[in-house]
Amino acid sequence: MDPLTNPFAPGAGTPPPELAGRDSILVAADVAVQRNKACRPARSLMLVGLRGVGKTVLLNEMVQIAEKHGAISSFFEVGTNGPLAHTVITTLRAVLLRLENGGISGSVKRGLRVLKSFAAAVRIRYGDFDISIPDLDVEAGTADSGVLSHDLADLFVAVGEAARAQKTSVVILVDEIQNLVKEEIGALIMAIHHTDRRQLPILVIGAGLPSMIRLSSETRSYAERLFEYSDIGPLDETACRQALVEPARRADVVIDVEVITAVKERTGGYPYFLQEWGYQLWMTTGCSPITRDDLLTAQNVVMERLDRGFFRSRLERITHPEHKYLQAMASLGSGPAYRSGDIAMAMGKKTQQLGPVREALITKGMIYSTSYGYAAFTVPLFDGFLRRTDTEQLSPW
């Protein structure tokens, strides 16, 4: 079939042709944005899930929801290089300047002065950093203590007050939020807490790995009451069918039922894998309908692409001992969670010896703690990849 008309879109954050199975999450975001803009109580949202479940896609959809309701939105991804404070300054500077376009007000001017105070404190704390801010004095005594949790709260409050004065709201969307260090997570939670108490129109929507729930609750005990957590998991059978059938139907292509069932089983219902399978089925099929023979032709291409790209690239950031730990997990079967003692036994080690390796893998986002003494992969089907590709024995290191 024509590759130019292939509707399927495997990629990082690439919108799928059919966003199936996520309606309730988008409705919740729509309600939260509207309530927040009206200065009514609305919890910030936190999307948690494994790699490849579509968290970034949902954040992008929520940007559209925010803008549809007249809110000012700003999206950023947390990196592992540089502090959160730098990103916050550039993000909220843009927000305040957009608020200013709605007609300059005293609250917006104050917000810019507070931002300038915050930036000055950041410059002192982190060293070389500069940003262009309009010719205003600092707001002395506000957001300039050098204590991130206090200063970020002051800054969020100032931005929320400016938004309220302009009769609008601000929606900040944060991807890969688990990359924040503990101090930054605590500061962000405290800032949200301060704006919520004042019912200011500023809403945070975050997305991250399942470890984010534990990290946030450990940092601030009240975190679970600030966020509406949404577990973004694999798609059920109905949603899988919709994700595959509808894009093909719009292109006058039929997919046999047994192919859909087989793809659901092979992907576990994870959206990224569904898109990869849909894309390769299209590319390897001569004409409609797509049949079981086409499935058998496409499967080797799909597995090669996933192994070479999606899976193998994640091993490039880890050390040999960390690789051994992952290999030991995979050797125990398909999980979903693995007991630390069993992993240690598979490696011929004691659990205490492997503590630093386990923590390093959690920090790198390769695994997460599902409960005390248990770990799971953050990448769906990663255990199968390791079993397919690792032939080296689990020797001591």
Domain boundaries defined on the chain: 3-13+235-312, 23-231, 318-389
Report the candidate in 59, 252, 73 with the shortest Cα–Cα distance to residue 159: 73
Residue numbers of the chain with a pLDDT score lower than 50: 392-397
CATH domain 318-389 topology: Arc Repressor Mutant, subunit A (1.10.10)
Please report where in the chains the tokens 């005990």 appear, as a residue. 221
CB burial of 240-279 (b: ≥16 within 10 Å; e: otherwise) equals: bbbbbbebbeeeebebeeebbebbbebbbbbbbbbbbbbb
- Cα distance between residue 39 and residue 41, in whole Å: 7
CATH of 23-231 among 3.40.50.300, 3.40.50.720, 3.40.50.2300, 3.20.20.70? 3.40.50.300
Rounded Cα distance, 151 and 121, in Å: 9
Q: Which two tokens stand for residue 127?
A: 């060293």
What pLDDT, on the 0 to 100 scale, is given for residue 396? 44
User: Three-state SS for 150?
Assistant: helix
pLDDT at 122: 85
Cα separation, 117 vs 304, in Å, equals: 52
Torsion angle defined by CA atoms of residues 323, 329, 330 and 334, in that order, rounded to the nearest 10 degrees: -150
Residue 395's pLDDT is what?
44
**DSSP code of 255?**
B
pLDDT of residue 393: 46
pLDDT of 397: 44
